[in-house]
Amino acid sequence: MTPGTTFSRRSANPGSQAALRKLNQQRIVHTLLQAGSLTQAELSRQTGLSTATVSNIVKSMVERGLLTTAPTTSSGRRALSVSLSGDDTIAAGIDIGRSHVRVVLCTIDHKVVAERWQPLPLGHEADFALEVASGILDELLGTCGRSRSAVIGVGLGVPGPIDSRSHTVIDGTILPQWVGITVDEIQDRLKLPVRLENDANLGAIAEITWGPHKGVDNLIFVKVGTGIGSGLILDGEIFGGNVGISGEIGHLPIHEHGLICRCGNRGCLETIASTAILIELLSREPQNVRSTADIVRLAEEGDKATLRVVDDAGQALGRALAAIANLLNPRMVVIGGPLAGLGNRMLEPVRTGFMRYSSPVVFDTTELAVSSFTDRAEALGAAAIVIQEFEAVGFDT
């Protein structure tokens, strides 16, 4: 894939030659991911594809640096062993937050090979954040002895809605400076193919790609940060909705006479449970909280006011999640973001709110958990969508 190429979410028309070729390529990639290296004859047997088809696809993928071949022998005959260029091929994930940027590099078999985050100043411009991200990307590639040519794509997450029609950050984000930024502009900046995605969607993808919830088909990931959003995995796929802005649970009304929210309504979940509100509520003496790390520390020390604020936030979150779970019947709800570090201190009040407002069967059959990735989930998910794209449609341009 060349710089400037946009990832497509869906493959070409089902049944078309291009779609068939992509499907065949996907079978070859999956088979090699599981088996390591195979001869072309073995690939043909295991995928059910003809030797001519395998040979054609392998040749094209070798030319694009996605597969490598080496001479070998099989049953005494000369053969060609085929393997993924996994160690040389890198998927990059970038997570942009209100005050941080994180970059991870993964091989296409999901091994994280390098990772670093850096604070960003509040109110940063998009150009500045992309410049910092680009610098970290080059630095990380250097530390693992790769160059930019090894990067097959970049997943980039931002904490706000992305219009799936125009691949543009739209109003509603907690980063107003990013509104109107398009995937094309980001690609021009990074000089690499980019897929732009909402950060909570990426968290959800990270949960079903790595870790203890790998492979769960129906999962809701809630990112609790300065804003609150959710990523919905339904039947194994991200559910984007009509124009890609599903999952905005931060604006579910909880208290009719609550505080005015940044969206203009009153008493939204965000006015009770966002990290910005928690920090504000605990900002005075003696707690003097300035960051989510302060909240986690004080809660661990058993500070009563901190625990009370976390308890209120957790119960409100549980109530909002019950409404979603009653509607969608997920198997799991995973809470991510910096407060995931609170573990059970966060989970218990969420469970209380969830129990009160969910139907009994939904409560009995829905597992609640905090993310084991804490604030890494979004960047990991960003790398995962690049790998997903590779597996699903390859890198035809």
Find the shortest distance in angstroms from Cβ 162 to Zn ion.
19
> Between residue 377 and residue 396, which ones bind Zn ion under the rule CB under 5 A?
none
Which token pair is 348?
């218990």
Pick 20 or 263: Cβ nearer Zn ion: 263
Q: Looking at 28-36, 53-61, 253-261, 359-367, which segment touches Zn ion (CB under 5 A)? A: 253-261
Query: Cβ distance 194 to 183 under 8 Å?
Result: yes
Find the shortest distance in angstroms from Cβ 264 to Zn ion.
7
Find the shortest distance in angstroms from Cβ 250 to Zn ion.
6
Report if residue 268 touches Zn ion, rule: CB under 5 A: yes
Report if residue 251 touches Zn ion, rule: CB under 5 A: yes
Query: Cβ distance 28 to 57 under 8 Å?
Result: yes
Pick 265 or 374: Cβ nearer Zn ion: 265
Three-state DSSP string of 42-107: HHHHHHCCCHHHHHHHHHHHHHCCCEEEEEEEECCEEEEEEEECCCCCEEEEEEECCCEEEEEEEE
Q: Looking at 41-49, 150-158, 206-214, 256-264, which segment touches Zn ion (CB under 5 A)? A: 256-264
Query: Cβ distance 271 to 259 under 8 Å?
Result: yes
Helix, coil or strand: residue 249: helix
Of positions 162, 261, 383, 384, contacts Zn ion by CB under 5 A: 261
Find the shortest distance in angstroms from Cβ 321 to Zn ion.
16
Helix, coil or strand: residue 164: coil
Find the shortest distance in angstroms from Cβ 229 to Zn ion.
12
Find the shortest distance in angstroms from Cβ 180 to Zn ion.
21
Report if residue 316 touches Zn ion, rule: CB under 5 A: no
Of positions 20, 80, 263, 323, contacts Zn ion by CB under 5 A: 263
Span between the terminal Cα atoms of the chain, in Å: 5
Report if residue 220 touches Zn ion, rule: CB under 5 A: no
Helix, coil or strand: residue 168: strand
Cα–Cα distance, 184 to 382 (Å, whole number): 17
> Between residue 167 and residue 186, which ones bind Zn ion under the rule CB under 5 A?
none
Find the shortest distance in angstroms from Cβ 265 to Zn ion.
5
Q: Spell 177-190 as b/e; 16+ CB within 10 A means b.
A: ebeebbbebbbebb
Nearest to 150 by CA among 228, 214, 92: 92
What is the total count of residues that contact Zn ion (CB under 5 A)? 5
Site residues (CB under 5 A) for Zn ion? 251, 261, 263, 265, 268
